[in-house]
């Protein structure tokens, strides 16, 4: 196997994909693309009780949505498949047999109660409380006795007696003393292999050269180094000891680790709110990395071109939802208006602002409206609230309604007088353009009646758009058209 970079993203399909996990996917993808290497996507679904097909689908969807294509993995295949661990059972059995044959494992008959008891005693006596190696050297007779007692056994890995040191690509030298890495379980009593076995085994079999993953897995690395060493000695896999890079924690509010349960941690939250893939991916990259200088706005292509794992910052990164949203707003404004319009459509359909198959006319109107709303938007789901008034009352759309509180506040006696004056001023307009509407209203309401702009245009805005906050008024009236604008002034005056 060549020395080309092979990285992997290997989540377990439980629950909704979360942003910390997607940051890991992104950095692996970027490293593969930067180095011309291979991005492997593997599904670690060995826990039937917790894994779900829905979560598996959501993982694939989230990666595709973000634009992170994989070179090997589910639905794509590859030389080292299958890429779902649930389909690799036979491979693991073979590896276990070889490890056992080579003397790298032993059967451990200790019961849960015995383990707890000894752990507590060790703690009391101030000793390391990990597994004490009690079953390391059982004789055949002892094994037979345990079996006669009806005990079941797990398979433990026999840790070599050495300290564990590696040059982490993010954290520099990391070391664990031998006493802190006790013998660990590879296979459950029922024969199910555990993460401790299957993760490094697959990394070895799939020729993974670099393991970029969350810092929460740091303490599992010595065990994985030891297993890799054993696999190399047994001639299993690529023979390459992968390099490790532990990516910084992602902290949420109050400097606590972003929890899976936090709704803002889940991918679906961002999709629902109408983040752009460009915006979310841009922000995720800033969780521990930056393009250099003060540049915080960049594309996936720029990230791939510049990404270097050695420049990942080891300090915890804070997930700042305000900043994430602001960057998304910048991306919204960076899009071509027609592209933006197209991306807004599904949000208008979901909201009931547009029917499922909008007409060409409705789409043209949206394209015309987009330049007036993009400056005020940070997420796409804000669009229905901004352009809903243009479609309200049309077949397949919601009826037009005035916001109750806004109407109460602005369509009082004085407001209704303003509407009547506006109606009169607009009635005879020869052309219906933003400029002519503005001129007519300013002339009548501000110059002739001496009103302050807020008092003059506020009631008109509520009558036309239904709310106090809307896209610019005169442009909105031009877009809505003469007939419907006058109708709305009339009906608000009633
Ligand atoms: N399936 C593991 C997880 O989701 C992968 C850990 C790793 O990257 O090694 O935590």
| Tokens 């369509």, residue located | 411
Residue 2, pLDDT > 60, answer no
Query: Domain span at residue 410?
Result: 404-493
Question: How far, in Å, from the CA of 12 to the mean position of ligand 1?
Answer: 7
Question: How far, in Å, from the CA of 269 to the mean position of ligand 1?
Answer: 22
Nearest-angstrom CA–CA distance, 41 and 70: 6
| Tokens 């023979």, residue located | 239
pLDDT band at 273 (very low <50, low <70, confident <90, very high): very high
Please name which of 110, 34, 43 lies closest in space to residue 72, comparing C-alpha atoms: 43
CB burial readout 342-380, b (16+ within 10 A) else e: ebbbebbbeeebbeeebeeebeebbeebbebbbeebbbb
Q: How many CB atoms lie within 10 A of CB 141?
A: 8
Nearest-angstrom CA–CA distance, 151 and 172: 44
- 24 CA closest ligand 1 atom index: 8
Mean pLDDT, rounded, for 380-388: 97
Q: Which of 13, 19, 203, 217 to mutate to test the pocket of ligand 1 (most atoms within 8 A of CB)?
A: 217
Q: Which of 8, 11, 225 to mutate to test the pocket of ligand 1 (most atoms within 8 A of CB)?
A: 11
User: Measuring from atom 3 of ligand 1, which residue has the nearest CA?
Assistant: 11
Last residue of a domain, one of 204, 227, 247: 247
* pLDDT of the residue at 10: 98
Question: How far, in Å, from the CA of 244 to the mean position of ligand 1?
Answer: 13
Please name which of 429, 439, 437, 425 lies closest in space to residue 474, comparing C-alpha atoms: 437
Q: Which of 24, 55, 195, 220 to mutate to test the pocket of ligand 1 (most atoms within 8 A of CB)?
A: 195
Please, which contacts does 252-257 make with residues 24 or more away whose CB atoms are closer than 8 Å?
A: 252/318, 252/319, 255/316, 255/318
Q: Is residue 241 part of a domain?
A: yes
Which residues line ligand 1 at a C-beta cut-off of 6 Å?
10-12, 44, 199, 213, 217
Give the total number of structural domains in the chain.
2
What is the domain-level CATH number for residue 458? 1.10.10.350
Q: Is residue 116 part of a domain?
A: yes
Residue 200, pLDDT > 80, answer yes
Examine the residue annotation and report whether 260 is marked as an active-site residue of this protein.
yes
| Tokens 């595709």, residue located | 64
| pLDDT mean across residues, the chain | 96
To the question of pTM greater than 0.85 for the whole model, the response is yes
* pLDDT of the residue at 297: 97
Mean pLDDT, rounded, for 448-461: 96
Spatial contact of 332 and 377, defined as CB atoms under 8 Å apart: yes
Q: What is the pLDDT of residues 87-146, one digit of tens each?
A: 999 999 999 999 999 999 999 999 999 999 999 999 999 998 899 999 999 999 999 999
C-alpha separations of 229 from 12, 238, 460 in Å? 25, 12, 76
Residue 291, pLDDT > 70, answer yes
Residue 180, pLDDT > 60, answer yes
Question: How far, in Å, from the CA of 202 to the mean position of ligand 1?
Answer: 12
- Tokens representing residue 118 in the block: 């000894």
Q: Is residue 329 part of a domain?
A: no
Residue 73, pLDDT > 80, answer yes
Last residue of a domain, one of 247, 277, 299: 247
What is the domain-level CATH number for residue 171? 3.40.50.620
Question: How far, in Å, from the CA of 142 to the mean position of ligand 1?
Answer: 37
* pLDDT of the residue at 260: 77
Given the residues 260, 398, 409, 452, select the one marked as catalytic. Answer: 260
Question: How far, in Å, from the CA of 195 to the mean position of ligand 1?
Answer: 8
Q: What is the DSSP string of 342-401?
A: HHHHHHHHHHTSS-SS--HHHHHHHHHHHHHHGGG-SSGGGHHHHHHHHHTTSTTSPPP-
User: Measuring from atom 8 of ligand 1, which residue has the nearest CA?
Assistant: 213
User: Measuring from atom 2 of ligand 1, which residue has the nearest CA?
Assistant: 11
* pLDDT of the residue at 259: 81
* pLDDT of the residue at 3: 65
First to last CA, the chain: 80
Last residue of a domain, one of 224, 247, 270: 247
DSSP state for residue 46 in the 8-state scheme: -
* pLDDT of the residue at 1: 43
Spatial contact of 207 and 80, defined as CB atoms under 8 Å apart: yes
Nearest-angstrom CA–CA distance, 489 and 449: 18
User: Measuring from atom 10 of ligand 1, which residue has the nearest CA?
Assistant: 11
């Amino acid at each position: 196997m060549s020395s080309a970079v092979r990285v992997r993203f290997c989540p377990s399909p439980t629950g909704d994909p979360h942003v910390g996990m997607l940051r890991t996917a992104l950095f692996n993808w970027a490293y593969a693309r930067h180095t011309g290497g291979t991005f492997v996507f593997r599904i670690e679904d060995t826990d039937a009780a917790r894994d779900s097909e829905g979560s598996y689908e959501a993982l694939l969807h989230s990666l595709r949505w973000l634009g992170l294509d994989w070179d090997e993995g589910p639905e794509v295949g590859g030389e080292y498949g299958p890429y779902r661990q649930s389909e690799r059972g036979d491979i693991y059995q073979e590896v276990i047999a070889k490890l056992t044959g080579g003397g790298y494992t032993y059967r451990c008959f200790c019961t849960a109660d015995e383990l707890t008891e000894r752990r507590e005693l060790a703690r009391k006596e101030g000793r390391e409380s990990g597994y004490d190696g009690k079953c390391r050297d059982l004789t055949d007779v002892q094994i037979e006795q345990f079996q006669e007692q009806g005990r079941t056994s797990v398979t433990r890995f026999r840790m070599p007696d050495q300290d564990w040191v590696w040059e982490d690509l993010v954290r520099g030298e990391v070391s664990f003393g031998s006493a802190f890495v006790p013998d660990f379980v590879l296979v459950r009593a029922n024969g199910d292999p555990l993460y401790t076995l299957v993760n490094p085994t697959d990394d070895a079999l799939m020729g993974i050269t670099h393991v970029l993953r969350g810092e929460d897995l740091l303490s599992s690395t010595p065990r994985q180094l030891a297993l890799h060493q054993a696999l190399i000695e047994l001639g299993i896999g690529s023979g390459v000891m992968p390099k490790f890079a532990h990516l910084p924690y992602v902290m949420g509010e109050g400097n606590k680790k972003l929890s899976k349960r936090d709704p803002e941690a889940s991918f679906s939250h961002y999709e629902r709110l109408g983040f752009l893939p460009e915006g979310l991916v841009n922000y995720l990259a800033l969780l521990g990395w930056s393009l250099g200088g003060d540049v915080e706005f960049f594309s996936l292509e720029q990230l791939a071109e510049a990404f270097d794992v050695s420049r990942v910052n080891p300090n915890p990164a804070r997930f700042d939802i305000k900043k994430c949203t602001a960057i998304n707003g910048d991306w919204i404004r960076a899009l071509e208006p027609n592209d933006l319009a197209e991306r807004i459509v599904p949000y208008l359909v979901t909201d009931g602002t547009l029917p499922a198959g909008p007409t060409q006319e409705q789409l043209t109107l949206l394209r015309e409206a987009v330049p007036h709303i993009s400056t005020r938007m940070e997420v796409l789901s804000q669009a229905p609230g901004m352009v809903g008034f243009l479609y309200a009352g049309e077949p397949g759309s919601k009826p037009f309604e005035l916001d109750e509180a806004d109407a109460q506040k602005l369509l009082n006696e004085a407001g209704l007088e303003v509407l009547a004056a506006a109606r009169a001023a607009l009635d005879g307009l020869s052309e219906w353009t933003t400029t002519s509407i503005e001129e007519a209203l300013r002339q009548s309401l501000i110059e002739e009646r001496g009103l302050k702009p807020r008092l003059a245009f506020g009631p008109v805005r509520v009558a036309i758009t239904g709310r106090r906050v809307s896209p610019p008024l005169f442009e909105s009236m031009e877009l809505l058209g003469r007939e419907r604008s006058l109708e709305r002034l009339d009906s608000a005056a009633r």
